[in-house]
C-alpha cells in the first residue's frame, strides 16, 4: 500500500477526529492547534516534527514512529507510547499534560520533560538514563524497575520512587523533593 510523504508543511487548526490524518511519513512538519483526540495515528511516521498546542488525548499510536519530535503545550491524556514503533524513538515535551500515559518498557534515554504534568503516568521498566524532569508534577507516577541513572529531578515535585526497585545512581535530587525517596518507609521527617 502506497503512503503519502509530506515535508516542510504546516498544518494549522486541523480537526483529525472525524477526518483522519492521511497515513504516511511526515518530515520536518509543524502541527499547530490541531485536534488528534481519539484519532487513529497508527503506523504514521513523524520525523523531526513539532506539535504545538495540539490535543492527542486517547489517540491510537500503535506502531506510530516518533523520531526527534517536539511536543509543546500539548494535551496528551492516556497515550500508550509503549505501543509506538520503538526504532529510533525520541521526543521531548515542554509544558505538556501527559496524565495517565504509559512509557512502559521504553528506552528513551535523555528525554526532556520540561514543566509537564505527568500524573499517574507509568514509567515501569523504562530506561530514562539522563532524562530531565524540570518543573514536572509526577503525582502518583509509577517508577518500578526504571533506569533513572543521571536523571534530573531537582525541580520536579510529588514524585515517589523506591531506590531499591529503581536504578538511581548519580540521579539529581533536591530538598524537599528527595523526601519522595523515603515515602515507602512511612516515617515522619520534620
3-state SS, residue 45: strand
Considering the chain, what is the average pLDDT of its residues? Answer: 93
Rounded alpha-carbon distances, angstroms, from residue 121 to 6, 82, 103, 185: 32, 12, 8, 22
Judged against a pLDDT cut of 90, whether residue 117 lies above it is answered with: yes
Q: Which of 101, 15, 83, 88 is nearest to 46 (CA)?
A: 88
Judged against a pLDDT cut of 60, whether residue 2 lies above it is answered with: no
Give me the mean pLDDT over the 84-90 stretch: 97
Task: Write out pLDDT tens, residues 129-151.
Answer: 999 999 999 999 999 999 999 99
pLDDT the model gives residue 185: 59
Look up residue 33 and give its three cell numbers: 492547534
pLDDT the model gives residue 174: 86
d(CA 95, CA 53): 10
d(CA 33, CA 15): 9
Question: Any alpha helices (H) in 43-110, and if so which ranges?
Answer: none
d(CA 174, CA 71): 27
Residues forming beta bridges with residue 55, ordered by sequence position: 35, 75
Q: Which of 99, 95, 97, 130 is nearest to 114 (CA)?
A: 95
pLDDT the model gives residue 175: 77
Judged against a pLDDT cut of 80, whether residue 178 lies above it is answered with: no
Amino acid at each position: 500500500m502506497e503512503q503519502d510523504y509530506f515535508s516542510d508543511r504546516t498544518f494549522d487548526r486541523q480537526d483529525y477526529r472525524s477526518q483522519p490524518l492521511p497515513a504516511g511519513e511526515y518530515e520536518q512538519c509543524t502541527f499547530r492547534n490541531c485536534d488528534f483526540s481519539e484519532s487513529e495515528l497508527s503506523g504514521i511516521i513523524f520525523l523531526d516534527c513539532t506539535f504545538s498546542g495540539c490535543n492527542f488525548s486517547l489517540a491510537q499510536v500503535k506502531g506510530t514512529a516518533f523520531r526527534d519530535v517536539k511536543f509543546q503545550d500539548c494535551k496528551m491524556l492516556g497515550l500508550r507510547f509503549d505501543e509506538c514503533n520503538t526504532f529510533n524513538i525520541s521526543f521531548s515535551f515542554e509544558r505538556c499534560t501527559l496524565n495517565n500515559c504509559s512509557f512502559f518498557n521504553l528506552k528513551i534515554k535523555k528525554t526532556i520533560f520540561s514543566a509537564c504534568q505527568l500524573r499517574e503516568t507509568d514509567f515501569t521498566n523504562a530506561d530514562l538514563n539522563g532524562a530531565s524532569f524540570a518543573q514536572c508534577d509526577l503525582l502518583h507516577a509509577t517508577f518500578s524497575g526504571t533506569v533513572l541513572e543521571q536523571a534530573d529531578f531537582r525541580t520536579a515535585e510529588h514524585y515517589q520512587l523506591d531506590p531499591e526497585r529503581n536504578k538511581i545512581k548519580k540521579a539529581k535530587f533536591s530538598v524537599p523533593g528527595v523526601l519522595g525517596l523515603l515515602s515507602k518507609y512511612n516515617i515522619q521527617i520534620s
